[in-house]
Structure 1
């Protein structure tokens, strides 16, 4: 065999091994990222009744598998703007103008103390929507989305301008078997919140805040009430004028009445929004 042919074969072999080595290293890095966020994603997706596979895929896509400056410096895995407990970081970002053209600008992004905090904040957005539309992502909730692909379509429609966003999420989920790993283990609707009885026809959202209970006798429920529920009656001296911790929100879809789960000492229950004053979101 001529020398140049031998050299060509050797070069092709070396390049092939190099490409294989790079792909293996990338796959290992991606697997490490999934392993690192596995427990927080399982916990948050169960508590909020969301698809864990979609949560993990979006964290990977938005943070470039945990290598973006924002995820490394601020534990911000979803590119969320604003501030978290007063903490933010200014970074360069690409935005689209009214005509769809991209331009570079500076923006403030949330700085989280941990990956867990980033995931909790993301779940709060998906379960609570925005101030102008609390049901923006309701189609992505486990009780409404029949599959993770339905959820990725809803997320893509409202979270990103990239028209291929849903396909990118679906590919990550398929490539790394995220559906089997994160969705099948949390398929039971009662996983949504162990302290809350899930009532059909009620949209739930996590909520962290405080309020003061109105004076007088109020109706205090074990869960967001249905017609068959019997209320616990809490007397004035027990909760009236007391500041309580607000833990969750439930909206009865049929009549759009709003309820909040509150806690004071060892007492936990649900009261209607009309029975609380000075509600503040923390």
Structure 2
């Protein structure tokens, strides 16, 4: 065999092996990211009635599969600006001017203590919208979106300027089977997407504690109520003077009214802080 033929075979083999190795490393990085984030995504998406597949795909896209400086050093997986409990980091970011041209500028980004804190904070954006429109993302809520593709369209329309944003999210979901892995497993009667109604304009947080329900008449709701909500009909005598498990807290941002989700046996609902005694966080 001539020398140039041998050399050609060697080069093709080397470059082919290199490309295959790169593809394998990339696939492993993506799989590792999904495995690492699955439990936090499942928990937060269930609590907030959101599609876990969309949350995972967006975290992957925004953080470059957990390799971005912001995700590595600040647990910020969605590029959220501002500060979190007073913590932030200043980094360079690309912005678009009114004419559509891109330029680099410095901006403050939130620094989170954990990946789950980043997911919870992002979920609050999707559930609570903005100060001028708390229903901005309501089309992406599981009770309103008939499929994850409906949700990605709503998120893309309001979250990103990239015209291909929805298709990028959908491709990640399809390539890694995220719908079966994160959506179907969270659609059962024990999850928040079927047992709890979330109200826009309420700052939610998980809570692990106990309390005692006051005696007498209390108002008991399916969710943190709006002005038009009527109290859920329950036999309050079952709960009076009884210790209950406290699973979540909701603060109405407009008037700072505090509500707690309590559970006793098969009875679950929201009551105002003034209707419980001896609240303890475990």
Decide whether aligned partners of structure 1 residues 127 and 43 sit closer, same or farther in structure 2, where only a CA change above 3 A counts. same
SS at structure 1 position matched to 2:94: strand
Q: TM-score scaled to structure 2, two decimals?
A: 0.77
Cross-structure match for 2:196: 198
Check whether the contact 2:219–2:231 (CA below 8 A) recurs between aligned residues. Answer: no
**d(CA) in 1 for partners of 2:56, 2:3:** 51
**CA distance in 1: counterparts of 2:29 and 2:22, whole angstroms:** 11
Report the equivalent of 1:213.
none
What secondary structure does 1:173 align onto? helix
SS of the equivalent of 2:146 reads coil
Q: CA deviation at 1:47?
A: 1.0
2: CA distance, partners of 1:169 / 1:189: 27
Aligned pair count?
245
Q: What's the offset of the Cα at 1:176?
A: 0.9
Contact 2:96 2:103 in 1 (8 A): yes
Aligned position for 1:212? none
What's 2:89 paired with?
89
Structure 1 position 219, deviation (Å): 5.0
Distance (whole Å) between structure 1 residues aligned to residue 205 and residue 47 of structure 2: 14
The alpha-carbon distance between structure 1 residues 157 and 128, as it changes in their structure 2 partners (threshold 3 A), is same
1:99 matched residue in structure 2: 99
> 3-state SS of the aligned residue for 1:163?
coil
Mapped contact 1:127–1:206 kept (Cα < 8 A): no
CA distance in 2, matches of 1:173, 1:246: 29
Q: Deviations over 1:161-209 (max 9, x none)?
A: 1111111111111111111111110123651179xx436xx75665259
Q: Which runs of 5+ in 2 are unaligned?
A: 207-215, 242-246, 276-282
Report matched runs for 1:212-223 at 5 Å.
220-223=219-222
Give the drift of 1:101.
1.3
Secondary structure of the corresponding residue to residue 191 of structure 2: helix
Shift of 1:262: 3.0
| 1:116 to 1:105, Cα distance in 2 relative to 1, 3 A | same
Q: Distance in 1 between matches of 2:114 and 2:191?
A: 23
The answer to which of 181-190 and 85-94 deviates more is 181-190
> Residues of 2 paired with 1:168 and 1:82: CA distance?
26
Distance 2:258 2:23 in 1: 49
What's the CA shift for 1:121? Answer: 0.5
Q: For residues 13-52 of structure 1, what are the structure 2 equivalents within 5 Å?
A: 13-52=13-52
- The Cα RMSD (Å) is 3.3
Q: What is the Cα deviation at residue 260 of structure 1? A: 6.4
**Contact 1:75/1:112, CA 8 A, preserved across alignment:** yes
Please give the alpha-carbon distance, in whole angstroms, between the structure 1 residues aligned to 2:231 and 2:86: 44
Q: Single out whichever of 225-234 and 153-162 deviates more from structure 2.
A: 225-234
1:16-68: per-residue Cα shift (whole Å, max 9, x none)? Answer: 11100100011001111111111101111111111111111100100001111
Give the direction of change, closer, same or farther, for the CA distance of 1:180–1:231 in structure 2 (3 Å limit).
closer
Which residue number in structure 1 is paired with residue 233 of structure 2? 230
- Describe the shift of the 1:135–1:184 C-alpha distance in structure 2 as closer, same or farther (beyond 3 A): same
Report the alpha carbon displacement of residue 135 of structure 1 after superposing the two structures with TM. 0.8
Shift of 1:6: 1.7
Rounded to whole Å, the distance in 2 between the matches of 1:163 and 1:33 is 25
Secondary structure at 1:146 match in 2:
coil
